[in-house]
Structure 1
């Protein structure tokens, strides 16, 4: 059955033109950008959902919702032409695909064309999510997380399960994690991770340039670090079953306890 779309937004455009003769400068005020927001509900009773945001530019946010459904909020904003969007849901594989097309996006005129998606999932759902560019953020979920971005920031907050995140370039911020493991890696950027409980396995890696920060509760840890400047304020025990690996090719590394 076709999912129901409800238009919950409105478009507004205001154009203003200002002239100034001082220093022969002419200034044009930009048109106020239209914004359209839609909601879509999909029945869902599975344990894992995959979200693929393959087009650019898409910001993807995953939040806890109600059991039995996926609720998708889509917000479009543009300065010239409204982006074309396409979403598809495959119930057999529990895969949601998000796609946008921005007319004239290749023009170097600074025009804006963006889609922001917020997907509300049952709190215990395991999430596999990927973006091309734009932010990828996941908050307050209890399932496992596997997140990828070609070029963009990845943010996690209050995740209770194991997390795995990769981005080609961009920061990875993971705060108030409650799970036992985190594997975080960026090609270029910063990796910052903080735990509320004592993890058993932490891997925080920058392959090229960027800083790494790991914050964990007090306990003995087997710690491996590589960086141009390393700061450790933690109890180290090479025989500990709790492992921390923090590495960067060019940047500082900090491993500390709360």
Structure 2
């Protein structure tokens, strides 16, 4: 890390923007009134703060540069990288991450929007909307409100959503768990689909697969809608134990 970290006050509900070409980005949200920025590259002329309180950190130097940031809990965060792992810990506000090549791990946030070309995405908890998109990689989320998840090649797993769910995978298994009465729509070209619903939920279902007969454990009704389409893969709708 740099011998001279940068410390800036961050009043109110401000936004933090981090932009790097390559290297690991680690952000920890905690109870503090300021932002602490450390890097193994030079930080001079790389940190800016505007009149709204928004803080921008950019590191366009060549090679790989590690960036470690500590910010107030609830901070809205925007991260853009070309290559490198992104790790976000603690309670954040609205989070947006865009990377070309690199994995993304998020602990807790109010809302999440992550897009990567090549890399796995892991979100522990998104209180509100969670949107995960990767071309080649795995997309997983522990819990969310509304969720939208897609991958061309990789597995999709959502353990618990209280709102609506949309999932799309060209090649990979899809596992979705719902904890409320939100609608579910899943499309996959090649891969199995498993949807887990709460005990007693009576969904209206439309399940279509060209291979095998869909299996459903729950009684049909009109509590919510579950729509699953798969060209090649088994479909299961099961009740939570």
Asked if Structure 1 and Structure 2 have the same fold, meaning a TM-score greater than 0.5 normalized by the shorter chain, the answer is yes
Whole-angstrom distance in 1 between the partners of 2:167 and 2:71: 31
What is the match of residue 224 of structure 1? 206
Whole-angstrom distance in 1 between the partners of 2:169 and 2:78: 21
User: What's the secondary structure of 1:215's corresponding residue?
Assistant: strand
Q: Which of 191, 211, 219 is the matching residue for 2:192?
A: 211
Q: Which of 216, 226, 236 is the matching residue for 1:244?
A: 226
> CA distance change for structure 1 residues 50 and 212 in 2, over 3 Å: closer, same or farther?
farther
What is the match of residue 148 of structure 1? 133
- Whether the 8 Å contact between 2:161 and 2:177 is mirrored in structure 1 is no
What is the match of residue 180 of structure 1? 163
Pairs aligned (count): 181
Give the CA deviation at 1:126. Answer: 1.5
TM-score normalized by structure 1? Answer: 0.59
What is the match of residue 234 of structure 1? 218
- Whether the 8 Å contact between 1:52 and 1:129 is mirrored in structure 2 is no
Matched, 1:163 2:163: no
Give the CA deviation at 1:117. Answer: 5.0
> CA distance change for structure 1 residues 97 and 128 in 2, over 3 Å: closer, same or farther?
closer
> CA distance change for structure 1 residues 241 and 97 in 2, over 3 Å: closer, same or farther?
closer
Higher strand share: 2
Q: Which has the larger radius of gyration?
A: 1
TM-score normalized by structure 2? Answer: 0.63
Q: Runs of 5+ in structure 2 lacking a partner?
A: 1-7, 9-34, 41-64
Deviations 1:112-168 (A, max 9, x none): xxx5554556x3x21111111111111122121111111111001122x11111111
User: What's the secondary structure of 2:126's corresponding residue?
Assistant: coil
Whole-angstrom distance in 2 between the partners of 1:60 and 1:203: 29
The two structures, once aligned, show a CA RMSD in angstroms of: 3.2
